Amino acid sequence: MLNFYSASARIVNTKRAVMECMESAMGDNYADCNLVILHASIGHNFQEMVDQAIEMAPKARVVAASCCGVVGKEGVSESMKDMALMAIKGDDFALANCDEIYGHNSYEKSLEMAKSMKAEKDGINMIYFLASGIDIDNDRCIQAFEEVFGKAVTIFGATSSDNMKGFISYQAVDNQVTEHGAFAIGFADSTLTVDTQATHGFVAVGEPLVVTKSNGCVIQELNGKPAWEEYTRRLGLTAEANCSDTIPIGALGEELSAELAAEYGNKHILRAVIKRVGNDMYYATTCPEGTKLWLTTRDEDLIFSEMDRIVHEMSNRNTGKTPVAVFHADCLARGRFLFNRIIKEELVNRMQFPFFVNGECPPWLGMYGFGEFARLGGENTYHNYTTALYVIYR
């Protein structure tokens, strides 16, 4: 049986931050945990971070990822020195990882991880997946995991980020730190179930851009013109702009069916452009020719009202169950790192309070990343620009 413990801290010294999180989460028993999951802002030294965790919990597997801020049971923080931790006791899990995962080999790398986990542990019923947020085809990752485990296994997690630059992100497994890696944790505790849901607060505007040439997750032409030039022109930018210039204003919407839109609370699912090479735009998922992409604008009121709606729906779906842990992925474009407009403390409080048990927040591990995994229409789905909640119940 798995048991969860969490903590977060904002401390400049990386080793001290790990110690604070471990001690706060588990008291004097931190050496007894079997798995340590760390999220940390880009200002921390990731090698020092995982080395310190291994020193304190020598029998534990340690994984980590970079982000643009964290959310823990203590609240939200978006500085360059944030750190959050989920420590887990119990051995009902399998862990697999890879390095050098990119858009063109996302399926093959994910398939290797899936097969490794299945060989290691029977009964996996949920997968926490975290990969590089730069140049990866997340649809193909999902496809690979489902090929091994079936569509009934829920995939949740995020893609790692930096401080919105789209320049570099880190992932780590045990003492190996990578810049383009991924890890997957398959939970096999039969007493646990997970419920997931995501929401964004953006509204589509204007006429769509049409993908007229693409290769997998790389968009080469929009409206018959070089993709990046046409995209930035529509945004009112020059072609010399980089990804960090487009992320705040450049969310792209793909139209959903009426049924999915009703569940999602929005007519469009959003996508981000996290990398570009020349005029080629690296999309977060496979993007076939003919796809219509709408520019969008952020709606603050919608962000709050939709957050209230999904929390209410998740609570109603799970009446009588006890939340034992919450994993949470939030897009950095919803944080104050961009516009300093959203009242994050209020939003996070409204997000967390309905899941309190006996007046206390359950163990909570949240990050601001480049993308999120959550079910939509009963299917494992990759999202951008959302808040995605993954509530584990016993």
Per-residue pLDDT tens over the stretch 126-144: 999 999 999 999 999 999 9
The predicted model scores a pTM of 0.95
CB-count exposure of residue 237 (10 Å: 0-12, 13-18, 19+): middle
Q: How far is CA 196 from CA 44, 105, 213, 355, 366, in A?
A: 29, 27, 34, 13, 14
pLDDT tens-digit map of 276-335? 999 999 999 999 999 999 999 988 888 889 999 999 999 999 999 999 999 999 987 665
Which of these three, 239, 263, 298, is where a domain ends? 298
Helices and strands of the chain, counted as H and E runs:
9, 26
HSE-up (13 A, CA, CB side) for residue 193? 8
pLDDT at position 333, please?
Answer: 66
Clarify whether residues 91 and 119 are in a common domain.
yes
Clarify whether residues 208 and 344 are in a common domain.
no
Clarify whether residues 270 and 365 are in a common domain.
no
Clarify whether residues 309 and 292 are in a common domain.
no
Across 200-302, where does the E strand assignment appear?
202-215, 218-222, 225-226, 252-255, 268-271, 275-277, 280-282, 292-298
* Euclidean distance between CA atoms 259 and 267, whole angstroms: 10
Clarify whether residues 19 and 108 are in a common domain.
yes
Please choose, from the candidates 308, 271, 311, the residue with its C-alpha nearest in 3D space to the C-alpha of residue 287: 271
Which of these three, 266, 298, 330, is where a domain ends? 298
How much is the mean pLDDT over the chain? Answer: 94
pLDDT at position 338, please?
Answer: 44
Q: What percentage of the chain's residues is helix, strand, coil (to nearest 5)?
A: 30, 40, 35
Clarify whether residues 52 and 9 are in a common domain.
yes
Clarify whether residues 247 and 165 are in a common domain.
no
* Residue tagged 């944790």 (tokens): 185
pLDDT at position 10, please?
Answer: 94
Task: Count how many domains the chain has.
Answer: 2
pLDDT tens-digit map of 181-192? 999 999 999 999
Confidence of residue 78 (pLDDT cuts 50, 70, 90): confident
Which of these three, 298, 318, 335, is where a domain ends? 298
Tokens of 34: 């079997």
Range of the domain at 242: 202-298
Clarify whether residues 291 and 367 are in a common domain.
no
* Residue tagged 């018959």 (tokens): 224
What's 216's DSSP letter?
A: T
Clarify whether residues 186 and 236 are in a common domain.
no
* Euclidean distance between CA atoms 229 and 214, whole angstroms: 15
SS3 assignment, position 185: strand
- Please state whether beta strands 252-255 and 225-226 pair in parallel, antiparallel, or not at all (unpaired): unpaired
